[in-house]
């Protein structure tokens, strides 16, 4: 909803003269794909509306106090070196001290009430019956997505339908973790919420514009925390339904790659990975059934090209040092065959 | 000593909070109500040792070094009896009930909390015994009443902690 | 009321051999020497922590840089945070407290001199233990080495499953050991301030520095203990098979966070209250006016102490607490802004109508006022939980807390260094070099930490060893890194100035600043016994009374 977002340049100077910040609030051509001031989903929008109030208030406080401080430093500086008289000693003033206690208290009350309202709105949102439900499971260092009612399991690239503000179809995400703490942060969609083992969390998004939205894990989870990237594809209803149908199919095989398939099934790959329709049903690593439907591999680290796939399988540590997938010690021809097999998993 | 007591109280508070939070959350293994037996005898020993140490300090204040020594030794004996009781209880829990620190959440929090307290009792007993040794070597006199009082404050603190631990573990938690 | 020192006749004997002098320092229980040892120890670790930060910033100067590996980077941010908080900030503030409190309250030493020495050596040993991890931490698969779990070591990353080897154990043990030292110092400060003030100095006539350190000490006693408890629990988990934070057995990772932040939040007030103390002593002297509103300053400090124990979960807004839970912590967090803001106004009012002398200590304190204002305001932004759902765990938070710790605390620390250096060493530092240090550091600080807010607003999370191009973060990271070199230059000038002035600086005399508290009534440096005869005071500024017998403070207080 572009019309609801106004340029907040003036408020942004609360950060002491950040004229550059005025440029931040441009939803149509964002300075950054992860700019928090370019919300496209209700939770993010509510946060930014609240932030306008907070920035206005803190900005005003800053201007007032900064001016007083600057004035004092200039006006009351020692002027003549010969001036050795001490100035009048003032020990306090009850009225003044009362004023600058009461006024901050009032400001705090206002900010608190505005904040409490937004917390209640976001955390108290009721799940409508037509909401899409996704279970997100954080792993070291990739994202697992399950759509329980649609019977789809995928990894690393989340697809959700766009939501019409007049007839919202939000997506509710249940956040779990298989190992350490993670955090799901796609700034244009919502504030971040952590994925903590044994502590399920719930968040929701209702993006109003289709497109690809980026983010990444925002809670330190180990060596490759930095490359646990998020890609959320917001699609039209039709596109989303088509995607779901495609993801629901088991893997389609091609006799020409049976050598690669044989390597896949005989090596330890199937211990960690799953490919629907084969013997592979490991859950430690991402589901590969529709690997070729993804734009990237290694949780967004590199684009999904045959060359990158080959490099990844040969030695994941070259792309993501410290990740949990080991180099399997395969020979060149073996890697090639395996790659060709994986290339058929659409 | 008040400062030290404040700091130690904060440490115990955290262990008590963890204990209370995890009540009823153990997924498997023995549960408190099934295996815990109320340690009446040990508790009486420990709490009355607060009384005896109070009398000891009072004696030393009025110069009765011999009376002081008697009450002091009695305190040590009662403290040792408490520790013995704890050990017996633990032996029962470990070997007969199969509850160790790694069995489940109850085991972890129970042994940590009661163990932390027992450790403080042990340290206290070491300090008290050292003072007793000095007494028998003739070094303690009326002029040391103030210092002995500080030591007795630590002992009262340890007893006070036991009241809390006892209530939380054996009364509320079962 | 005379508080002059007896000038001892110069000794004819040659100075004792080096071994003898070192032995005196190692076995000392004199609060002044221990204070200086704390300060020197902390300065060394400041350099080390600064090197760690520089390594990180070089790695982040551009996307997909490969200056260091992710494993090394993760150790850097863990060690940088742990070092700066526990082995720089705390020791240096304890050092100043140790040095100044007895002098300011007219006592000969701290209440428990041997406990004082013990506490120092515990802290010192803790730091060495932490750094020994670089050598001795190897575990399975070479997965050991220095800790890399972040300075707040969230569970279950610290479980044996995810942190093999001993790196995490070094983190735990070194902090346990130095924690004992911290509690020792705190007990000492409380006892000293409550029991050893000179005649006439009621609590209401005590200078603000001992007051603020008293509240700080109370916080240490109450706050460091939860960290100790949590670390003991973590050791039980790692070595005795316990399940405190073992989520597979029903344990709670969130509980570690609660216990850690119950320590972690008061900890930052432990760091900032002494910084306020320095500002409260320096600003009046260089404005030539008494501190404005002393009673309110004390009341605000006590209020901050209390409220700071109730705000901890604002570090956990993203964890999934309930709406009422989040709301409660928003309330307490915003509430603490009130007494803190009051202090800024009081310092402003102290300068107002005064006669400001722009010497180096005052330059740092003036910068502190502007910077602490900004830091407080970004803190309010973070305290608004929904806004924190974006800003938390991002570079905005890193910018905020460095604004407080560097822009607030380190700046006042530098001010304190220059202010009390003449007292501690007997010599005056070089003012030109002092101003050079100030400007270099000021420029560097603002280059780094002003612009660091921006990547946070553009979605950059913290603790990442590299980042993607095309997110709009590149230019800001570059500017941030450039600022580091200005700061480094400033610190080098500072150390050079200290070392040079120690040898060649002009003799400063006992009261170079024409100040008003008791430490300036004795020689520079003070003799071992501090005062020839213990002073007796009638007001908060005993030396003002002496210098202005026609207009003494006690007529107005």
C259 inside 8 A of chain B by CB:
yes
Summarised one tens digit per residue, pLDDT across range A189-202 is 999 999 999 999 99
SS3 C515: coil
B57 inside 8 A of chain C by CB:
no
B114 inside 8 A of chain C by CB:
no
Give the closest residue to C87 by CA, choosing from C75, C79, C97.
C79
- A299 within domain boundaries: yes
Residue A146 near residue A134 (C-beta atoms within 8 A): yes
Distance from CA of C187 to the nearest CA of B (A): 5
| Beta-strand pair A296-297/A201-205 | unpaired
Residue A309 and residue A225 in one domain: no
| Beta-strand pair A229-235/A157-161 | parallel
Residue C155 near residue C253 (C-beta atoms within 8 A): yes
Residue A264 and residue A290 in one domain: yes
- Rounded CA gap, B65 and B86, in Å? 32
Q: Which residue has the tokens 């032996």?
A: B91
Q: Do C454 and A21 touch (CB under 8 A)?
A: yes
Q: Which neighbouring-strand residues pair with A303?
A: A296
The last residue of one of the domains, among A248, A263, A296, is A248
- Token pair, residue B63, equals 């110069």
- Rounded CA gap, A124 and A117, in Å? 10
- A318 within domain boundaries: yes
C232 inside 8 A of chain B by CB:
yes
- A220 within domain boundaries: yes
Residue A187 near residue A280 (C-beta atoms within 8 A): no
Residue A244 and residue A136 in one domain: yes
Question: DSSP letters along C280-348, please?
Answer: HHHHHHHHTSPPTTHHHHHHHHHHHHHHHTT-GGGG-GGG---HHHHHHHHHHHHHHHHHHHHHHHHHH
Residue C466 near residue C64 (C-beta atoms within 8 A): yes
C294 inside 8 A of chain A by CB:
yes
Q: Scanning every residue of chain A, which has its alpha carbon at the shortest distance from the alpha carbon of C471? A: A32
Residue C215 near residue C204 (C-beta atoms within 8 A): no
Q: Do B21 and C222 touch (CB under 8 A)?
A: no
Q: Residue C460: which residues within 8 A CB-CB, separation 6 or more? A: A34, C394, C395, C467, C471, C473
How many C-beta atoms surround the C-beta of residue C23 within 10 A? Answer: 12
Q: Do C229 and B10 touch (CB under 8 A)?
A: yes
Whether the predicted interface score ipTM is above 0.90: yes
- A10 within domain boundaries: no
Could you give the C-alpha distances from A118 to A45, A111, C456, C494, in angstroms and in order? Answer: 11, 11, 21, 48
CA-only gyration radius of chain A, Å = 27
pLDDT of residue A346: 87
C255 inside 8 A of chain B by CB:
yes
Pick from C294, C338, C355: CB nearest A101: C338
Residue A120 and residue A45 in one domain: yes
Distance from CA of A53 to the nearest CA of C (A): 10
Q: Scanning every residue of chain B, which has its alpha carbon at the shortest distance from the alpha carbon of C189? A: B3
- A7 within domain boundaries: no
Q: Residue C68: which residues within 8 A CB-CB, separation 6 or more? A: C55, C59, C76, C465
Name the packing angle between helices B2-21 and B145-166 (round to 10°): 10
Chains meeting C at 3+ CB pairs closer than 8 A?
A, B
Region B90-103: mean pLDDT is 93
Summarised one tens digit per residue, pLDDT across range A295-339 is 999 999 999 999 999 999 999 999 999 999 999 889 999 999 999
Could you give the C-alpha distances from C431 to C284, C376, C427, in angstroms and in order? Answer: 20, 30, 12
- Residues C28-555: name the CATH superfamily: Cytochrome c oxidase-like, subunit I domain (1.20.210.10)
CATH for A309 = 2.60.40.420
The last residue of one of the domains, among A212, A227, A248, is A248
Summarised one tens digit per residue, pLDDT across range A103-131 is 999 999 999 999 999 999 999 999 999 99
- Rounded CA gap, C274 and C259, in Å? 24
Pick from C222, C237, C251: CB nearest B6: C222
Range of the domain at A113: 35-74+95-124
- A51 within domain boundaries: yes
To the nearest 5 percent, what fractions of chain C are helix, strand and coil?
70, 0, 30
Give the closest residue to C403 by CA, choosing from C384, C382, C387.
C382
Residue A107 and residue A144 in one domain: no
Residue A139 and residue A69 in one domain: no
- Token pair, residue B138, equals 């003739």
Cα separation of the two ends of chain A: 34
Residue A145 and residue A217 in one domain: yes
Cα separation of the two ends of chain C: 19
Q: Chain A contacts of C463, Cβ < 8 Å?
A: 220, 225-226
Dihedral sign, CA of C335, C339, C345, C348? Answer: negative
- Chains C and B physically touch (3 or more Cβ atom pairs below 8 Å): yes
Cα separation of the two ends of chain B: 34
pLDDT of residue C136: 66
Could you give the C-alpha distances from C102 to A155, C62, C195, C517, in angstroms and in order? Answer: 63, 50, 11, 12
* pTM confidence score: 0.92
- A336 within domain boundaries: yes
Q: Do B112 and C233 touch (CB under 8 A)?
A: yes
Residue C411 near residue C371 (C-beta atoms within 8 A): yes
pLDDT of residue A13: 39
- Give the largest Cα separation in chain B, rounded: 58
C370 inside 8 A of chain A by CB:
yes
Distance from CA of C65 to the nearest CA of B (A): 43
CA-only gyration radius of chain C, Å = 24
- Rounded CA gap, A92 and A158, in Å? 61
Residue A152 and residue A233 in one domain: yes
C474 inside 8 A of chain A by CB:
no
C141 inside 8 A of chain A by CB:
no
- Rounded CA gap, C482 and A259, in Å? 54
Give the closest residue to C354 by CA, choosing from C292, C425, C303.
C292
Q: Which neighbouring-strand residues pair with A167?
A: A164
Residue B93 near residue B48 (C-beta atoms within 8 A): no
Distance from CA of B67 to the nearest CA of C (A): 31
Domain count, chain A: 3
**Backbone phi, psi, residue C263, to 5°:** -80, -45
C72 inside 8 A of chain B by CB:
no
Residue A243 near residue A198 (C-beta atoms within 8 A): no
Kindly tell me if the per-residue pLDDT of A12 is higher than 50.
no
Q: Do B112 and C243 touch (CB under 8 A)?
A: no
Pick from A30, A140, A219: CB nearest C393: A219
Q: Residue A63: which residues within 8 A CB-CB, separation 6 or more? A: none
Using a 10 angstrom Cβ sphere, with 0-12 exposed, 13-18 middle and 19 or more buried, the burial of residue A240 is buried
Using a 10 angstrom Cβ sphere, with 0-12 exposed, 13-18 middle and 19 or more buried, the burial of residue C186 is buried
Q: Which residue has the tokens 């009823």?
A: B24
Residue A101 and residue A147 in one domain: no
Q: Scanning every residue of chain C, which has its alpha carbon at the shortest distance from the alpha carbon of B107? A: C242
- Rounded CA gap, C297 and C275, in Å? 14
Pick from A68, A115, A201: CB nearest C384: A115
- A181 within domain boundaries: yes
The last residue of one of the domains, among A224, A248, A272, is A248
Q: Scanning every residue of chain C, which has its alpha carbon at the shortest distance from the alpha carbon of A108? A: C334
pLDDT digits (tens), chain C, 557 positions: 444 555 556 665 677 888 998 999 999 999 999 999 999 999 999 999 999 999 999 999 999 999 999 999 999 999 999 999 999 999 999 999 999 999 999 999 999 999 999 999 999 999 999 998 887 655 444 444 889 999 999 999 999 999 888 889 999 999 999 999 999 999 999 999 999 999 999 999 999 999 999 999 999 999 999 999 999 999 999 999 999 999 999 999 999 999 999 999 999 999 999 999 999 999 999 999 999 999 999 999 999 999 999 999 999 999 999 999 999 999 999 999 999 999 999 999 999 999 999 999 999 999 999 999 999 999 999 999 999 999 999 999 999 999 999 999 999 999 999 999 999 999 999 999 999 999 999 999 999 999 999 999 999 999 999 999 999 999 999 999 999 999 999 999 999 999 999 999 999 999 999 999 999 999 999 999 999 999 999 999 999 999 999 889 888 87
């Amino acid at each position: 909803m572009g019309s609801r977002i106004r340029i907040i340049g003036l408020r942004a100077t609360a950060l002491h003269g950040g004229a550059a910040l005025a440029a931040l609030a441009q939803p149509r051509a964002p300075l950054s794909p992860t700019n928090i001031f370019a919300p496209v989903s209700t939770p993010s929008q509510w946060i930014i509306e609240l932030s306008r109030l907070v920035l206005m208030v803190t900005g005003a406080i800053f201007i007032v106090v900064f001016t007083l401080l600057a004035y004092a430093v200039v006006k009351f500086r020692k002027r003549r070196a010969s001036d050795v008289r001490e100035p009048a000693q003032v020990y306090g003033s009850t009225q003044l001290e009362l004023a600058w206690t009461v006024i901050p208290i009032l400001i705090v009350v206002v900010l608190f009430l505005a904040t409490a309202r937004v917390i209640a709105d976001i955390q108290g949102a009721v799940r409508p019956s037509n909401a899409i439900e996704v279970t997100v499971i954080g792993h070291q260092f990739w994202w697992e997505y399950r759509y329980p009612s649609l019977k789809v399991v995928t990894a690393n690239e989340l697809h959700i339908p766009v939501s019409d503000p007049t007839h919202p179809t939000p997506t509710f995400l249940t956040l779990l973790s298989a190992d350490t703490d993670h955090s799901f942060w796609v700034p244009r969609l919502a504030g971040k919420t952590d994925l903590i083992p044994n502590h399920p969390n719930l968040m929701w998004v209702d993006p109003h514009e289709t497109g690809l939205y980026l983010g990444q894990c925002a809670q330190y989870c180990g060596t490759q925390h930095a490359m646990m990237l998020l890609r959320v594809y917001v699609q039209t209803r039709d596109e989303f339904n088509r995607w779901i149908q495609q993801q629901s199919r088991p893997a389609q095989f091609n006799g020409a790659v049976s050598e690669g398939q044989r390597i896949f099934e005989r090596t330890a790959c199937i211990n960690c990975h799953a490919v629907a329709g084969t013997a592979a049903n490991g859950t430690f690593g991402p589901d590969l059934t529709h690997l070729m439907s993804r734009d990237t591999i290694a949780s967004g680290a590199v684009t999904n090209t045959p060359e990158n796939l080959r490099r990844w399988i040969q030695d994941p540590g070259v792309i993501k040092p410290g990740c949990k997938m080991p180099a399997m010690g395969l020979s060149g021809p073996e890697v090639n065959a395996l790659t060709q097999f994986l290339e058929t998993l659409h | 000593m008040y400062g030290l007591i404040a700091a130690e109280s904060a440490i115990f508070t955290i262990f008590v909070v963890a204990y209370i939070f995890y009540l009823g959350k153990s997924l498997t293994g023995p549960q408190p109500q099934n295996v815990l037996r109320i340690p009446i005898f040990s508790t009486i020993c420990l709490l009355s040792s607060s009384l005896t140490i109070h009398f000891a300090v009072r004696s030393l204040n009025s110069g009765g070094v011999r009376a002081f020594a008697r009450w002091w030794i009695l305190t040590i004996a009662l403290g040792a009896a408490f520790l013995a009781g704890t050990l017996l209880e633990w032996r029962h829990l470990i070997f007969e009930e199969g509850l160790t620190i790694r069995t489940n959440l109850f085991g972890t929090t129970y042994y940590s909390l009661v163990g932390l307290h027992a450790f403080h009792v042990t340290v206290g007993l070491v300090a008290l015994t050292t003072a007793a040794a000095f007494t028998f070597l003739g070094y303690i006199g009326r002029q040391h009443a103030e210092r002995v009082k500080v030591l007795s404050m630590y002992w009262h603190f340890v007893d006070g902690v036991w009241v809390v631990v006892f209530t939380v573990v054996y009364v509320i938690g079962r | 009321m005379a508080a002059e020192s007896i000038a001892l006749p110069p000794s004819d004997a040659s100075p004792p051999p080096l071994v003898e002098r070192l032995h005196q320092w190692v076995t000392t229980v004199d609060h002044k020497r221990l204070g200086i040892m704390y300060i020197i120890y902390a300065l060394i670790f400041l350099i080390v922590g600064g090197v760690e930060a520089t390594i990180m910033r070089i790695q982040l100067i551009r996307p997909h840089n490969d200056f260091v590996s992710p494993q090394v980077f993760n150790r850097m941010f863990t060690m940088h945070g742990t070092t700066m908080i526990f082995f720089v900030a705390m020791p240096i503030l304890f050092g100043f407290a140790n040095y100044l409190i007895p002098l300011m309250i007219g006592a000969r030493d701290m209440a428990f001199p041997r406990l004082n020495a013990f506490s120092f050596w515990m802290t010192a040993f803790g730091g060495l233990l932490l750094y020994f991890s670089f050598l001795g931490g190897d575990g399975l698969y070479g997965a050991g080495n220095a800790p890399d779990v972040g300075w707040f070591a969230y569970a279950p990353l610290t479980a044996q499953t995810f942190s093999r080897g001993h790196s995490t154990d070094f983190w735990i043990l070194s902090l346990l050991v130095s924690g004992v030292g911290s509690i020792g110092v705190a007990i000492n400060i409380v006892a000293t301030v409550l029991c050893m003030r000179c005649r006439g100095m009621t609590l209401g006539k005590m200078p603000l520095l001992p007051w603020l350190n008293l509240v700080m000490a109370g916080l240490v006693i109450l706050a460091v203990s939860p960290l100790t408890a949590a670390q003991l629990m973590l050791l039980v988990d790692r070595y005795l098979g316990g399940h405190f934070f073992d989520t597979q057995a029903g344990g709670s990772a969130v509980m570690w966070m609660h216990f850690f932040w119950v320590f972690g939040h008061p900890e930052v007030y432990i760091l900032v209250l002494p910084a306020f103390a320095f500002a409260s002593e320096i600003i009046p002297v260089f404005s030539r006016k008494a501190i404005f509103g002393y009673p309110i300053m004390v009341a605000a400090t006590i209020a901050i102490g209390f409220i700071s124990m109730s705000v901890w979960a604002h570090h956990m807004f993203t964890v999934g607490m309930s709406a009422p839970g989040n709301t409660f912590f928003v309330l307490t967090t915003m509430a603490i802004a009130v007494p803190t803001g009051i202090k800024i106004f009081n310092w402003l009012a102290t300068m107002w109508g005064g006669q400001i002398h722009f010497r180096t200590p005052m330059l740092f304190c003036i910068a502190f006022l502007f910077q602490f204002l900004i830091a407080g305001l970004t803190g309010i932004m973070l305290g608004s939980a929904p806004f924190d759902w974006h800003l938390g765990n991002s570079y905005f938070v890193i910018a905020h807390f460095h604004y407080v710790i560097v822009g607030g605390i380190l700046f006042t620390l530098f001010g304190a260094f220059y202010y009390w250096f003449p007292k501690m060493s007997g010599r005056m530092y070089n003012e030109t070099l002092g101003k050079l240090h100030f400007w270099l550091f000021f420029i560097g600080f603002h280059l780094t930490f002003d612009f660091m807010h921006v990547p946070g607003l553009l979605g950059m999370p913290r603790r990442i060893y590299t980042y993607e191009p095309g997110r709009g973060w590149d230019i800001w990271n570059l500017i941030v890194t450039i600022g580091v070199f200005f700061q480094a230059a400033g610190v080098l000038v500072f150390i050079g100035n200290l070392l040079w002035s120690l040898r060649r600086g002009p003799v400063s005399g006992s009261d170079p600043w024409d100040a008003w508290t008791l430490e300036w009534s004795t020689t520079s440096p003070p003799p071992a016994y501090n005062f020839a005869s213990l002073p007796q005071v009638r007001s908060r500024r005993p030396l003002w009374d002496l210098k202005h017998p026609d207009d003494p403070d006690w007529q107005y207080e």
